[in-house]
Structure 1
Amino acid sequence: MAKVTIDASVCVGCGLCEQLCPEVFEIQADGVAHSKADTCNTHNISEIAEQCPVSAIKVE
């Protein structure tokens, strides 16, 4: 399993991650993305993270 973190100080809330993987990401009331879980089994999570326009998503 991959560990997913989002740097809220960098996130611009564009929603791309939520569109690509709504089971993992969601834009919350504060206007930035949040991970719904600390770990993820989604096979393409690294590819989704690479598409973040501000590189706010980290996958370990």
Structure 2
Amino acid sequence: MAAEVYVDQQVCIGCGLCMSIVPEVFRLNDAGVSEVFDQNGAGEAKIQEAIDSCPVNCIHWR
């Protein structure tokens, strides 16, 4: 089973950095925080770049 990415929305500050790196996977929801809308929108390396760039470390693999 492939790894899935998720955003801890209780920690997210809605900076949008993940969305600017991988707009095919992340978006801001109505509450103004990031969410994953397409697990398959980009490769794991690109998603990992967004994870590594997150200033509050709220994006994780499960």
What band does the TM-score fall into relative to the shorter chain?
0.7 to 0.9
Tell me the distance in 2 between the aligned counterparts of 1:10 and 1:24. Answer: 18
User: Structure 2 regions of 5+ residues with no counterpart?
Assistant: none
Tell me the distance in 2 between the aligned counterparts of 1:43 and 1:8. Answer: 20
Tell me the distance in 1 between the aligned counterparts of 2:61 and 2:44. Answer: 12
Compute the TM-score of the two structures, normalised by the length of structure 2. Answer: 0.82
The aligned length equals: 59
Query: Post-superposition, which runs of at least 4 consecutive aligned residues in structure 1 deviate over 6 A?
Result: none
- 2:9 aligned partner: 8
Greater helix proportion: 2
Greater strand proportion: 1
Compute the TM-score of the two structures, normalised by the length of structure 1. Answer: 0.84
- 2:57 aligned partner: 55
